Amino acid sequence: MTPTNAMSVDVEDYFQVSAFEPHIDRRDWDRWPHRVQANTERVLALFDEAGIKATFFTLGWVAERYPGLIREIVAAGHELACHGYDHRRATEQTPEAFREDVTRAKKLLEDTGGVAVIGYRAASYSIGRDNLWALEILQQVGFRYSSSIYPVKHDLYGMPEAPRFAFRPETASQLLEIPITTCDFLGRRWPCGGGGFFRLYPYAFSRWQLRRVNREGQSAIFYFHPWEIDPGQPRPQGLGLKTRVRHYLNLGRMESRLRRLLQDFAWDTVANVFLNRAAYAN
């Protein structure tokens, strides 16, 4: 039987990505045209058309400004999860600041959505070997799982020595960490869990990788952002070449690729796919 995979969406606006931090101050976010509501509603329509449920890792900042959107997500039967308050990377926070951030965002989402929030994803996959204390804090404040570690080598994030598949951390044994999916072949580890890599690779290659993971008997976890289906988004000035390529590459093709992906695999929420499994890597 082919495993069901977990579909997830990181609900944030285009100007909130970590790569734009040197160019757009947080204090100016409300001065930029907001597109997160319309883009997320397009994502909801895509999922409804495909007949799938997904997990929406949502910023508290978004929930404050668009409470109706949060209620739409919940009313459609999707899982509401936490992406922190305002996309501050865990690597830039003290343990005390991190605890305050995730507690604030969790309560805000729960109060707005009227449901328990048990899942968390760090901004820019910013939990790794140097701040694994964050996982213990997540357990302490009531999260049941995290999807915050990317087991790859990358210039902005990554913990390549981490397990490829879901595991219980030694310091937070009641919390399940669900790393973003990777595929090992040709002597190296390849990202295949979504985002910019999904826009970079030919679709056939991404499909092959995910099928390979499923043939291993494992469920994949896939992610993308609402702004990735919005090629008409405003473009800040002064971005470097690498940032421009990473952010804007193939935005115009993303929606059609997603439609194929939704048809080619079985999908459900992160909680439904992973919390009911009997055993995990250690």
Residue 74 has a pLDDT of 98
Residue 276 has a pLDDT of 73
Indicate the average pLDDT of the chain.
95
Residue 282 lies inside a defined structural domain of this protein: no
Residue 281 has a pLDDT of 38
Residue 99 has a pLDDT of 98
Residue 280 lies inside a defined structural domain of this protein: no
Residue 158 has a pLDDT of 73
Residue 69 lies inside a defined structural domain of this protein: yes
Residue 1 has a pLDDT of 81
- List C-alpha distances in Å: 210 to 16, 79, 201, 221, 278: 28, 22, 13, 9, 22
Per mean pLDDT, which range of 61-65, 69-73, 75-79, 170-174 is the poorest? 170-174
Residue 39 lies inside a defined structural domain of this protein: yes
Average pLDDT over residues 235-256: 94
- pLDDT band with cut points at 50, 70 and 90 for residue 187: confident
**Percent of the residues in the chain that have a pLDDT greater than 90, as a whole number:** 91
Domain count, the chain: 1
Residue 277 has a pLDDT of 60
Residue 142 lies inside a defined structural domain of this protein: yes
Residue 278 has a pLDDT of 40
DSSP state string for 31-87: GSPP-HHHHHHHHHHHHHHHT---EEEE-HHHHHH-HHHHHHHHHTTPEEEE--SS-
- pLDDT band with cut points at 50, 70 and 90 for residue 155: low
Average pLDDT over residues 198-204: 96
β-strand partners of 119: 145
Residue 115 lies inside a defined structural domain of this protein: yes
Average pLDDT over residues 131-153: 96
Average pLDDT over residues 243-252: 94
User: pLDDT, tens digit, for every residue of 162-173?
Assistant: 999 999 999 899
- pLDDT band with cut points at 50, 70 and 90 for residue 233: very high
Residue 172 lies inside a defined structural domain of this protein: yes
Query: Which residue shows structure tokens 């070449």?
Result: 241
Residue 134 has a pLDDT of 98
- List C-alpha distances in Å: 209 to 78, 184, 185, 254, 271: 26, 9, 9, 18, 23
- Judged against a pLDDT cut of 90, whether residue 282 lies above it is answered with no
Residue 50 has a pLDDT of 98
Residue 281 lies inside a defined structural domain of this protein: no
SS3 11: strand
Strands (E), the chain: 5-11, 55-58, 79-82, 119-120, 145-146, 176-177, 182-185, 188-191, 221-224, 267-268
User: pLDDT, tens digit, for every residue of 75-123?
Assistant: 999 999 999 999 999 999 999 999 999 999 999 999 999 999 999 999 9
CATH number at residue 23: 3.20.20.370
Domain, as residue range, for 34: 5-274
Query: Which pair of structure tokens corresponds to residue 200?
Result: 């970079």
